[in-house]
Amino acid sequence: MASLRGMSQAQIRFPKPDFESGYQYPELSYVVPNETLWVWLDIFMLILLMGIVTWAVYKKRTRRPIFWISVISVAYFGFFRSGCVCSIGSIQNIALAMVDSTYHLPLTVLLFFILPVLFAFLFGRVFCAGVCPFGALQELVNVKNYRLSRAVTVALGMIPWLYLIFAILYAVTRSRFIICQFDPFIGIFRLGGDVGLILFGALLLILSVFTGRPFCRFLCPYGALLSLFSSVSIWKIRLTRKNCINCELCHNSCPVDAIRAPYANKVKEKRTAGVRRLVGYLAILPLLIVSGAFLMRSASPDLSRANKEVRLYDLVEEHEANPEEELSLELEAFYGQGRTMEELASTYEAKQEEFRFYSTVAGAFIGLVIGLALIRLSVRRTRKRYEIHHADCVACGMCFSYCPQNKPSVESQKLSES
């Protein structure tokens, strides 16, 4: 495609020779691939695969179709479509479109963002089950699940929220799309790219062999967003339609530790102690929010250097102080375009003000995330049976086959055979 475009541009770059012979040059045309067809095929595949996962989880209560969905997703969305369009990266496009009316948001990106969110609100994180090629790839290589303590899991679980906040911050300030820039699996799907990111992706896959989905649980910003909608989903996944017998098999089988164990056999603390701890965390929550906002606002000048206009201003200012130094490519482009220092300074001040505002908001959310994590650790709700924590559950269906209550009894098997 690129070579054809280059050939067409080469034909019109220079004027045609004038031979005065009356010869009429033919109109040149080239076959351009119908990218629109692939766009709608991507959307069709996204809806179809999420629909099959929903059917497997809620109707059939089986893992087998989800496994094959994972294989198809890795093959199609991963290697064939090179991991793009990506629902995870679409967060940045949506954030930018919300603050910049001149930004054209492609329909595909909008649908890849909205549809998994809609399914999460209705059925839970069925997109994460096997439709997302990142999660599917990790699931396919998983062999063993070594568990982390709840305190470590909650602490690491804050990272996706922080990642989400910074991704939105840099997107709304038109600085960079850090989710795409630091994508650990895109180099694997495209069989090339930044060596460091490929090694990081390979490390995540090695970790996925021994623990369930480390990227999904401790890095993915879109998974954090889906967890909000999954926690309040209209239809929720159930371990079994029968009474739980507390056999612990489902808890041991869950690769993402989304099944909470009962507290009935554990020593309980006094209710007043738990209430005092919860009230204490609620009291310091506003302080954490204000502190986060203040710290991020103070760091906004450093954060703003991710923006190309801010970096250019620093380069021009440094060159003006030392004019004998050799011009960089950025400076050559600046002076070649005839831009003035006053114009650049005005852009610089506007961008600094923009970063001060959005960094303050981002810092408040960071304080909120930390405060809610502390509150989550402090709450110890009494449970008498194993229950799914729907915010963490990725609807992989792994627990269904382990629960003995989901297996048909001997009598029902004989009836079915007869």
Q: Tokens 């089986």 identify what position?
A: 62
For residues 109 and 1, which has the higher predicted lDDT (pLDDT)?
109
Question: Residue 272 pLDDT > 60, yes or no?
Answer: yes
Q: Which two tokens stand for residue 151?
A: 């305190």
| Predicted pLDDT of residue 291 | 96
Task: Tally the residues of the chain.
Answer: 418
**Phi-psi bin for 268: left (phi > 0), alpha (psi -120 to 50), beta?**
beta
Confidence of residue 23 (pLDDT cuts 50, 70, 90): low
Q: Which pTM was predicted?
A: 0.85
Per residue, the 3-state secondary structure of 381-404, as one string, reads: CCCCCCEECCCCCCCCCCCCCCCH
Least confident of 109-113, 125-129, 219-223, 314-318: 314-318
Q: Which of 312, 297, 306 is nearest to 347 (CA)?
A: 312
Does residue 259 sit in helix, strand or coil?
A: strand
Query: Is the backbone peptide bond immediately before 316 cis, with ω within 30 degrees of 0?
Result: no
String of DSSP letters for 297-311? HHTHHHHGGGSHHHH
- Give me the amino acid identity at 222: Y
Give me 400's structure tokens: 């269904």
Pairing of β 387-388 and β 259-260:
antiparallel
- The encoded tokens of residue 36 equal 């629109």
Digit-coded pLDDT (tens) for 352-399 = 999 999 999 999 999 999 999 888 877 777 778 888 999 999 999 898
| 190-238 residue pLDDT tens | 998 889 999 999 999 999 999 999 999 999 999 999 999 999 999 999 8
48/177 Cα distance (integer angstroms)? 29
